[in-house]
Amino acid sequence: MSDVTDGARSGQEQSAEPSADEPEKGTDSGTDGTGGKKKSSRPFWKELPLLIGIALVLALLIKTFLVQAFSIPSDSMQNTLQRGDRVLVDKLTPWFGSEPERGEVVVFHDPDGWLRDEPTPKPNAVQKFLSFVGLMPSAEEKDLIKRTIAVGGDTVECKKGGPVEVNGKALDEPYIFPGNSACDDMPFGPFKVPDGKIWVMGDHRQDSSDSRYHTGDVNKGFVPVSQVVGRAVVVAWPVNRWSVLSVPDTFDQPGISAAAGAAPGVLGVAGALPFVIRRRRRLTSGRTAG
């Protein structure tokens, strides 16, 4: 009896062991080891449209809020910029209230028909799309690029044979195109720049239709700050012309700021005011006592 029982037990133990011909659980290519089916990865070609869509959205956001590429269409900023250069324009800082400063190269919308007689290129559908998302400079937008010479509150002028002066300080302008004068083709001023506007000039002075040539328009040659797209910060293309568009040292000379020039006078009046008031009180009290 015991032999039969032991034999039955032995048979049960043998049947519990997996056969060599039977696959072990969890080793099947269609399972994940827990009895469930293994998740297959999506083919790359299915994910590609999503990746392209994300890239285009990011490019559009960058173009709208951070930087935008612009193409130089003329020779008016030679030799700082050449026709066909691509520059990157900072569009972020204007969102925080930053305004153009003297010496900065800025891109701005046509303020009052400055480009009225200029032909407008007709881009194809692909070019329009690429410019919309910021991957290509727009050919339809009528924008200009010039150097900011004076800002709101400044007095700017230039007499024939002389340099440009801002608040009585002569500018040393090594960036002017070789052989050009500061303003001999169109002397101007003195003009007081209104608040919220700037006075701009091209570096190629004798080939630039800038503020000097539009003093008869509605803005009297000044460019409203609201029309400024942003500051051009770097030449990005072609690669052999890569450079940073920094502010020349002449715009940092002492006394050039209208506010700085007025500061000593303002401080002098403020310092003398208490003495004047005290003296008047003494004179008034003396007369009353008499």
Residue 142's closest CA among 100, 103, 111? 111
> And the tokens for 51?
């990746």
Active-site hit among 63, 91, 146, 197: 146
- Cα separations in angstroms, 233 against 218, 225, 247: 29, 17, 10
Q: Does the active-site annotation cover 29?
A: no
Phi, psi of 167 (to 5 degrees): 55, 40
Enter the tokens of residue 43.
Answer: 């083919």
76 is catalytic: yes
**Coil, strand or helix at 9:** helix
- SS3 assignment for 41-84: CCCHHHHHHHHHHHHHHHHHHHHHHCEEEEECCCCCCCCCCCCC
E strand or H helix that includes residue 269: helix 258-289
Q: Is 250 helix (H, G, I), strand (E, B) or coil?
A: helix
| Cα 254 from Cα 235, distance rounded (Å) | 29
CA separation for the pair 161, 163 (Å, rounded): 7
Active-site position among 76, 138, 208, 211:
76
Active site residues: 76, 146
